[in-house]
Amino acid sequence: MITRFTFVALYLALASGFSIASPDVTSFDSTRAFEHDFYVQSNLEFTLLHELAHAVIELNDIPVLGGQEQAADQIALMLLIMADDSHNKDINPVVLNKLLAISGEWMIEWKNEKKDHQPVYWDTHPLAIQRFYEVTCLIYGSNPDKLESLRKESMLPVERAWDCDIEFEQTRRALAWLVTKVSDYKFNKSWKLIKSKDSKQLFSGRIKVVWIQPNNQEDQRIYTKLKTFNHLASVLTKLNDLLNLKNYITIYLEPFCRTPDAWWDGTKNNITVCYDLIKDFEKNSLLLPDLVKQLKSGIRN
Ligand SMILES: [Zn+2]
């Protein structure tokens, strides 16, 4: 179990962002990670990529070692990191803020898990706090020289940080292999995505989104907000260009689940994302800065 001291140190590290960072990232401003809509959109993007990773694994019979939940997390995170090639030379502040928003969400969820009930150790998903370190390690591993501050600020203990570049390399290689199995593309030597064959016309499947009309004012607000997230629409367009899908995958944005969850249903080729999950992201985006302020002023409960 994580100690209270470590827990507080991690929050403070998250809060201070890169304020005492190495010279490489002094200009990086981490406050955007906790901007309300950016935070919600980043976590929703991660959720969609995670569920789509399940879909791609199952629909293509991809063999998985190490558990499908962890594989789905790693595919989603690596797609976010590889969305541009800046990890080769510099830090992309938008991607970095996105990953901080995602790791921040895991930290808050861990706190809620511990407060509300015993963490579920038998679950197929890693614990929220493990997912926090998983995200942080992949970010750090993508560019350890420039992101030395993550390690220095105790977001990542040295024992884990040590091998994060290897973890990143292994995950990137696995993603590169996966891309050759499920698309006409491959990564070249400088990790740019290039077209390597021309078989898209054989695959009629696409990802489509079904908007379920809400029936109350609060859900209508969420519906309207989600419709403004143009970035997510462009991510889905890019994935439709990239992936060779035999089947249609339908994403339902669902106001009536009554649980803060999202899941892939392989029997129907559906992904459901509940409005309650979006509401949780909204609540947590507000919770994190306050919590950090409390911790900074010495109030720890
Ligand atoms: Zn999952």
Of residues 161 and 156, more confidence is placed in: 161
**With contact defined as beta carbons under 8 Å apart, do 202 and 244 qualify?**
yes
Phi/psi zone of residue 191: left (φ > 0), alpha (ψ -120 to 50 degrees), beta? left
Mean pLDDT of the chain: 85
- Ion ligand 1: residues, CB within 5 A, are 69, 72
Give the integer Cα–Cα distance in Å for 124 and 53: 15
Give the integer Cα–Cα distance in Å for 31 and 39: 10
Ligand 1 centroid to 173 CA: how many Å?
A: 21
Tokens standing for residue 2: 């994580």
- Of the candidates 37, 5, 95, 52, the residue with the CA atom closest to the CA atom of residue 222: 37
Ligand 1 centroid to 52 CA: how many Å?
A: 9
Ligand 1 centroid to 152 CA: how many Å?
A: 31
> What is the pTM for the complete model shown?
0.87
Ligand 1 centroid to 12 CA: how many Å?
A: 29
Ligand 1 centroid to 57 CA: how many Å?
A: 11
Pick from 6-20, 81-95, 259-273: least confident: 6-20
Ligand 1 centroid to 47 CA: how many Å?
A: 9
| pLDDT average, residue stretch 200-226 | 96
Residue 75 falls within a domain, yes or no? yes
Amino acid letter at 251?
A: I
Residue 168 falls within a domain, yes or no? yes
Residue 292 falls within a domain, yes or no? yes
Ligand 1 centroid to 69 CA: how many Å?
A: 5
Model confidence at 299: pLDDT above 50: no
Ligand 1 centroid to 70 CA: how many Å?
A: 8
Residue 263 falls within a domain, yes or no? no
User: What phi, psi does 70 have (nearest 5°)?
Assistant: -65, -40
Residue 271 falls within a domain, yes or no? no
**With contact defined as beta carbons under 8 Å apart, do 214 and 222 qualify?**
yes
Ligand 1 centroid to 82 CA: how many Å?
A: 20
Model confidence at 12: pLDDT above 60: no
**Count of structural domains within the chain:** 1
**With contact defined as beta carbons under 8 Å apart, do 84 and 206 qualify?**
no
Residue 230 falls within a domain, yes or no? no
Amino acid letter at 191?
A: W
Residue 12 falls within a domain, yes or no? yes
Pick from 23-32, 37-46, 114-123: least confident: 23-32
| pLDDT grade for 38, boundaries at 50, 70 and 90 | very high
Pairing verdict, β 249-254 and 207-211:
parallel
Residue 64 falls within a domain, yes or no? yes
Ligand 1 centroid to 269 CA: how many Å?
A: 14
Residues whose CB is less than 8 angstroms from the CB of residue 84 and which lie 6 or more positions away in sequence, other chains included: 92, 95
Helices (H) and strands (E) in the chain, counts: 11, 6
Host domain of residue 136: 4-191+280-296
